[in-house]
Amino acid sequence: MNLKQFIQLSGIALFLTVTPAFVFASCSDDNVVEEPVTPPDDDDDDKEEEKPDEALLKTCQTILERIKNANLPTNASNVEKDVAKWMEQLREDGSFPDINYTDRAYSWIPGNHLTRVKQMAQAYVLNESKYYGNEDLYQQIVQALTYWNTVHPVCDNWYHNQISAPQDMSTILVLMRYGKTPVPEELEDSILLYMKQTGGDPEEQTGANKTDVALHWLYRGCLQTDKSVMDKAVLHSFMPLAYVASNQEGVQYDLSYFQHGPQLYIGGYAPVMLSGVTQVAEYTADTDYKLSPNQLNVLYKFINDTYMKSIRGHVQFYNIVGRSVSRPGALNCSSFTRTLEKMKKIDPAHSAEYDKHIATLKGSGYGSVTDNFTHYYIGDWSLFQGKDYSVGVRMASKRTRKCENGNKENLKGFFMSDGSMNLALEGDEYFDIFPVWDWNRVPGVTNPQMAEIPLGKAWGEEGESDFCGGLSVGANGLSGFRFEGNTHGVSMSANKAWFFLNGRIVCLGSGITSTMAEPVNTTVDQCSFKGNLAYAANGQENTASMGTEVTDEALDWIWHGRVGYFFPEGQKVSLKAEKRSGNWYDINNTKSKDPVEKEVCTIWLNHGTAPVDATYSYIIVPGIDNAGAMKSYRTEDTEILANSATVQAVHDVANGMVQALFYQKGSIEVGEMKITVDHPCALMLKKSGNNFELYFADPSHQLTSLTITIEYNGKRQTYTYDAFGEDGAYKGMTHQAQLTF
C-alpha cells in the first residue's frame, strides 16, 4: 500500500512513533547545538526500492495533513472569485494569456502561474467551496500543471528556481492529494523528478536559504514516502538552530544573525529562517522529527532576546534588514504574529511571552517592558529597547560585512553600516521613507556629501575598522568604532561613539579628517515629519513648521517628534522640514517609478571641507512631551569628559557613572578620580560610596591582557585581566570586576 492509497483509506491524521534516521550530538552547558550527523543519501536510482513501513506511512500522512490544513483558506469566498477568473482565462494548452513564460527577469512574472494554480487547487479541495470536486476545474488544474511541467520557466534569480517555484509546486501537489481525484500519478512523478533535479540541495545552503530549500524537500519526501529525503529535509530545516563561529552564517554566540557571510541580517533573512523553521516544527510536532530541547532553546532565545527587540510597534529597525530596506513595506512586521502563534504551540512553556509579543505587534504598547541595552559584540550592533523608545546602532568592522546591494536592490545604501542610528518612539519614524531619503544623510553617520553615492561590492563587503565594539550592563552601555573609509572614492576617518546613560544618548565624534573636496556632515536624524517642531538659539525659542530651514547656526536645542536634541558645544547645526518626492525604482530597479511624496525632517552638522581632527557632540533625549520641557532639561547632569582622537568619555553626574572608549592607552580624570588603562578598550565605572563596579570590553578582539588603574582619595588600585584568550567565541564580550577603596 502506498501513501496515496493510505490517504484515501485513512482520511484522518494518525500520530505514531517513527524511528528517527538521524542523531543529535550532546550539547554543552552553553546550549550550543552540535552539528547533527548527516544521514546517508539513499536517493540512488540504482538501489532496490524498499517498501515503506506502516509507521513511516502514518508519519507522512500526519505531516501532509498539516501541510494541507496550513495551505487552505479559512473562507472559500477568498479564492472563489479569483478562481472563476483563472478558469475563464486559461487556454486549452494550460497557459495564461497575460503571462510571458520566457521572461527571466528578477521580478519573474511566470511565478504568477503557480500562484493561480495553487488558488485553483485550494478551491478544488476546500469542502466549503462551490468548486469542491468540480470536474472542469480539475481538468484545468491538470492542464495548467502539464503546461508548466512542459515549458519549465526559468528565472535569472536562483531563488525562484530553487525555492519559490518548488515550494509552490509541492504545495499544489499536496493539496491535490486531498481532492476528489488526485493528480495523475505519471504527472506528479514527473513534476517531483524535475523538482529533485533542479530544486537545489539544502546541504549547499545556509541560514534562511537552507530552511527554504529544505521545506520543499520535506514536501517531496512525504509525497513519495521517502525516508532518506525526509531525514535530510528535517535535518537541514533545523540546522540553523545552532550557534556558529563568527565567520559562518547563522545565529551567533551573541544572538545576532548573519547571512551572506558575516553580514548582519536580523531583519530580512532571519524572519524567513524563523518562518521556515517554525513551519517545519509545527508540521513535525509530536513525531520523532520534532525539535530537540536545545534547538528549541536557541529558537526561543533568538526570538525573545533579539528579533522582537529589533522592532518598535510593528516596524523593524531599518539598518538590520539588509537590501530589503529598498522594498516597499519591508519594515512591517505585523505578519510575524503568525510565527509567534506557531511558537505558542511549539514552545508552550513560553506562551505567555509570545502573547506579549503578539500584543505589542498589534499595538498594545510597552508597559511591561524593562529598559535594557545590549551590545552585540559579534554583530557590531547595539540595541536599546525600553518603555518609551527604541534605538539601534549599526557599525561595521574588518570582522563583519557592510549592508549589501544585489539583485538591483539597495542601490544607495553605501553609508548605512557606518554608524547608522534608528531612533523610534512610535515605530513609524522611518517606515517607507526611503524613496525620498537623502542617502547622503543616513541618521547617525558621518560621511562626505557625494554627488553620486558609491555602489559597493554586490552582496556586501567587509568594513575597514579594526576597532569596533562596546559593552552593555542593564539599561546602560556604550558602542563605538574607529571609522575608516578608503574605498570607492571615499577618503576620510573619524572616531564615533554612543553612550547610553539612563534615558539619554550622548553622541560624540572626534578625529574627523578628510582629504576630499566634498564637505563632511554628521546626520543627527532624518525621519518623517511629525508636525511639531521647535528650536532655540542663544536662549531664544522658535516655533517651526513645514518649510522651516536653518543652515549652519549655533543652536541650543531642537525638539521634534517628542525627541530633544541638545547641542552643548557651539557647532554648525542645520535643520530642514520639507516635502520631498522620489520613487522606489531609484533605490531598487525591480520596483515602481511612480512618484512618492513625504514630509521629512532632517537635522545635521557641517564639518566643512577637508576637516582635520574635527569633533561633534550632541545629546538625544527621547520622550520629551513639549518644547517647554526642553528649557528645563538639565544638560549639566551630563558631563563630556573627553572627545579627542585618543579617548571619548562622559560622566553621568546624577548617577555617578563614567563611560569611556579609549582608542589608545591613556587616562581620564573625573573630579578627584583618575582612570588609566594600558590598552585601548571600552570601559564603564559606577561608583557607590567606596565601591566601584568596573565593566570593560575589548573592541579590537585582539587583546591578551588589560590593566586598569583607579586613583581615588589618595589611594590607588590596579586591576588586571589577562584571560581574553579564553573568551573564544565570546571575544568582545563585557567583563566585570569590583573594587573597594
Active site residues: 260, 269, 323
Backbone angles phi, psi at 699, to 5 degrees: -65, -15
Q: What CA–CA distance (Å, rounded) separates 181 from 138?
A: 8
CA atoms of 161 and 142, how far apart (whole Å) = 21
Dihedral sign of CA atoms 78, 81, 85, 90 in order: positive
Residue 632 grid cell:
528645563
Residue 280, C-beta contacts closer than 8 angstroms, at least 6 positions apart: 211, 214, 215, 218, 233, 234, 237, 238
Amino acid at 699: P
Tell me how many degrees the CA angle 700-704-710 measures, rounded to the nearest 5: 85
Cα separation, 225 vs 213, whole angstroms: 18
CA distance 379 to 394: 9
DSSP assignment letter at 140: H
Beta-strand runs (E) in 515-572: 519-528, 533-537, 540-544, 549-553, 557-560, 563-566
Interatomic CA distance for residues 269 and 275, integer angstroms? 10
Long-range contacts of 345-353 (CB under 8 A, 24+ apart): 345/282, 345/285, 346/278, 346/281, 346/282, 346/285, 346/291, 346/296, 346/299, 347/296, 347/299, 347/300, 350/300, 350/304, 353/304
Residue 300: CB atoms within 10 Å: 18
Single-letter amino acid code for the residue at 217 = W
Beta bridge partners of 684: 659, 695
Who contacts 659 (Cβ-Cβ below 8 Å, separation ≥6)?
A: 476, 477, 478, 499, 501, 649, 650, 652, 683, 684, 685
Rounded distance between C-alpha atoms, residue 296 and residue 403, angstroms? 29
Amino acid at 645: A
Which residue, 717, 730, 705, 643, is CA-closest to 673? Answer: 717
Q: Which three cell numbers stand for residue 48?
A: 532496490
Cell numbers 513525531 correspond to what residue? 287
Are 642 and 497 in contact by the 8 Å Cβ rule? The answer is: no
3-state secondary structure of 119: helix
